Amino acid sequence: MIALGSDHGGYDLKEVVKEHLQKRGFEVKDFGTYSKESCDYPDFGRAAAEAVASGECEKGIVICTTGIGISIVANKVKGIRCALCSETTSARLTREHNDANMLAMGGGLVGNLLALEIVDTFLDTEFSEMEKHSRRISKIEE
């Protein structure tokens, strides 16, 4: 299951991502927001991150206008490694090297087509399992 969260600035892109994930056969849990009415990204970013950290959801995707604020919020939750990505190379490398379990994007910065390529790259890339990367992740978790 994939956790989704956004504020009003990420709402439109979140809806595009949600439809794409469902078409790909992923089960999605949408933690809001559910409209373009002004709201606070920490509420929705934290809820999605907590679902990933608890194991309720395997991975998460969070979106605000820039992706910056909501990625900071997600990374405050113990056990979360959320990467802000605006292109596919970072999405691939954060999975291979950091075993990131959450993706953040900026709904005001990334177009729909690119966003879906980023999402697919993030979800379809496995962690490399290389010792040096595992060691570094352990140090992050400490």
What residue ranges in 2-122 does DSSP mark as E strands? 2-6, 28-30, 59-64, 82-84, 102-106
pLDDT digit string, tens, across residues 80-102: 999 999 999 999 999 999 999 99
Which of the following is catalytic: 64, 82, 85, 133?
Answer: 64
Paired strand residues for 60: 3, 102
Helix (H, G, I), strand (E, B) or coil at 24: coil
Prior bond to 88 cis, omega within 30?
no
CATH number at residue 128: 3.40.1400.10
pLDDT digit string, tens, across residues 42-59: 999 999 999 999 999 999
Enclosing domain of residue 134: 2-141
Q: Is residue 107 within 8 Å of residue 12, measured between CB atoms?
A: yes
Q: Which residue has the tokens 């933690």?
A: 31
Q: Which residue has the tokens 């959320």?
A: 82
Total number of domains constituting the chain: 1
**pTM given for the model:** 0.96
Residue 14 has pLDDT above 90, yes or no: yes
pLDDT of residue 65: 98
Range with the poorest average pLDDT among 60-64, 97-101, 110-114, 126-130:
126-130
Computed over every residue of the chain, the mean pLDDT equals: 97
Catalytic residue check, 97: yes
Residue 142 has pLDDT above 90, yes or no: no
> How many CB atoms within 10 Å of residue 88?
16
